[in-house]
Every structure is written in C-alpha cells, then in structure tokens.
Structure 1
Amino acid sequence: MTKPEKTNKRAASRSAARLAAVQALYQMDMTGIDLTAVAAEFQEHRIGEAIDGEEIHAAETAFFTDLIQGVVAEQRRIDPLINERLAEGWHLTRIDSILRAILRAGTFEILRRADVPARVSINEYVDLAHAFFEGDEPKVVNGLLDRIAKEVRPEELAPPAPDAPGVTAEQGQG
C-alpha cells in the first residue's frame, strides 16, 4: 500500500469514528445509557457494519473511544465553551441533540487532539452536520468550532504574515 493510500484509509477510518462517536453521544444523551454500555454496543455491533446494505468504512476504534470518553470526561469544560459562543438566546441544552453531539465532539477534538489539525476537525464536523441537516446547522458548527479553534490554537489559524516566505502581497491581505 502506498503512503497516499494509507493516509486516505486512515482519514476515512477517522471520519467513520467521528460519525460513530456523534451517534454514540446522541444515544447517550437521548437514552441515558452510560458510556461503558454505549461504547461496548458500538464496538460490538455498529462500527464497521453495513447500513441499508452499504458497507461502512471501518472506524478507528481507538479514536472513537477517545472521542466519546473525552467528551464525557471534559463535558463540564466543553459545554460552557459552546454555550458562551452560541448566538444570544441560544442554549446548548435547547438545541437539537445531534447538533449538540457534533459540537461537543468537535470541541473536544480541537481542545485535546493536537495531532489533528484544527481545520481538519472543523471540516469533518461541518461535513457531519451536512449529513444530518439541510438548514443553517452546518454554518453554526463551522462558526462555533472556528471561534474555539482560533482561541485554543491561534498559531494554527493565524493568517500568514505578509512578509512570510512564499507569501505574495496579495495573499497576505486576505
């Protein structure tokens, strides 16, 4: 297997892990089932299974586990971060459960998974929002995760300096 094939396979398995994590967080939120039970159910019965006859890419199990365990462990930090950045009059507890799961998982990943570039995390969770919603929700995910990432990882999201090597004057002005 070539290096690009390995990279693409890993990216696809992480995307599948993110989807499974959002689904698991949603299930925990809606049913009150605890983390251990949901993690076991997903690992035994859902991850890598076919849905409606379509094969789903195998999820990176360790990444899935880290996401759901991390969201639960960090929820007291994550929820206020999200709440403070929602539009006036919006509260995390009153938004759609899937959207809440997407925002929590994305926020955790930006906070604790420095091995994943912030832009990758943002794009992945925006893509997930598009899979579940047709309205403004993907824009909410993009805006909120972008704000958090700029605060938590400013060096990653700062525009290049106008005099940086390889940056033209026009690029530095954007």
Structure 2
Amino acid sequence: MTVRAPASKTTRPRTGARVAAVQALFQTEQAEESAETVIDQFTRHRLGDVPDAGGFEDGRVPDAHVPLFAAIVRAAVKDQDRIDAMIAASLPADWPFERLDPVLRALLRAGTAELGMADGPPIRVVINEYLDVAHGFFAGDEPRMVNGMLDALARRTRPSEFATPPEAPVA
C-alpha cells in the first residue's frame, strides 16, 4: 500500500500517526494479525527516522507520533465490532460494509475510533486530519465520502460539539 505524503512540507507527527494507523489497521485485516503484533512491527520497522530507509513512498512514516498511533490502532481493534456497525449504519442501504475498499475501511475505522476517544482532539480536527489522510490514499471521490461519513459519525458520537453556542447580545 503506497501513500503520498501529506500536502504540507512541515512535519506533522499526529498526521503521520493517523497515516500509520490506517496502514496498520489494513495490515491487521489483510494478514489477520493482532493489533499488538502490528503495532510492534510498525514501531520497529516503519515509524521514526531511519537513515536511508525511505519515506512515505516506501511505506515508512518517519514523523509519526507513536503513542497516538498505538492508541488509535488499539481502540479501533478493541471496539471493531461496534465501530463496524456504526460505519455500516452510515452507509447507503444498497452499499454493504464489505463492499468498502479495504483501505477505506481501515481509514474509517481509525477515524471512528479516534472520534470515540474521550480525551481526543475536537471532532473538526479529527475530520480534517482524516480528510488529509484520505487525499494521500485516494485520488477519486473517496475523500468526500470520508468527510461525509466522519461528519455523520461525529454527530452521533459527540453531538455536543455540534451545538451552536448562544449568540452574544449586541450592544
């Protein structure tokens, strides 16, 4: 699985963690490996800056924030049945969950898991980050689908963050 580097030239360790989490979740599904096995493999071989080891094009994520990466992967795998049910419920009735591209499934699982983290960033940050990640993996309509689905999932997961604050009185 090849991913293009995020558009920004500055290092973005949290974005790197999310890219790596999508790759790791893809691997857990395709290779039927445990989350801990994949986290260990990624931490030893694919994350961090190793001289002459390549970058995004070679499947490495040099600037990933490892604690966030591990937290996303663990949360997504631990709650996978619930997360998959939420994703499936957000799909059109004629689009079965199994029909999703495996990378798109991994991306939605990671995003949904992060939306469910009590100590996670604001939902707008999560959605924007996974939209950036989606653009790294897909050139078609998939990023729009990710945006819409994560927005719908966020509204169910953290509805209070969508409440509009009362308007201040005009003086």
* TM-score of the aligned structures, taking structure 1 as reference length: 0.81
Residue among 49, 61, 83 paired with 2:66: 61
After superposition, the C-alpha distances for 1:79-119 in whole angstroms (9 at most, x for unaligned) are 00000011121122221011000000000111124431000
Q: Which consecutive segments of 4 or more residues in structure 1 shift more than 4 A?
A: none
Counterparts of residues 74-89 of structure 1 (less than 5 Å): 74-89=79-94
Structure 2 CA distance, aligned partners of 1:44 and 1:106? 24
* Native 8 Å contact 2:114 2:120 kept in 1: no
Larger Rg: 1
Aligned partner of residue 112 in structure 1, secondary structure: coil
Partner of 1:119: 124
Structure 2 CA distance, aligned partners of 1:130 and 1:28? 22
Partner of 1:128: 133
Displacement of 1:44 in angstroms is: 0.4
Unmatched tracts of structure 2, length 5 or more: 1-9
Partner of 1:33: 33
Partner of 2:5: none
Which of 1 and 2 has higher RCO (CA within 8 Å, sep 6+)?
Answer: 2
Structure 1 CA distance, aligned partners of 2:75 and 2:61? 24
Taking only aligned residues, the RMSD between alpha carbons, in angstroms, comes to 2.3
Structure 2 CA distance, aligned partners of 1:159 and 1:61? 34
Structure having the larger proportion of residues in helix:
1
Aligned residues: 156
Aligned partner of residue 22 in structure 1, secondary structure: helix
Counterparts of residues 1-174 of structure 1 (less than 5 Å): 12-49=12-49, 50-51=54-55, 52=57, 56-161=61-166, 164-165=167-168
* Native 8 Å contact 2:46 2:61 kept in 1: no
* TM-score of the aligned structures, taking structure 2 as reference length: 0.82
Aligned partner of residue 79 in structure 2, secondary structure: helix
* Native 8 Å contact 2:19 2:61 kept in 1: no
Q: Percent identity?
A: 41
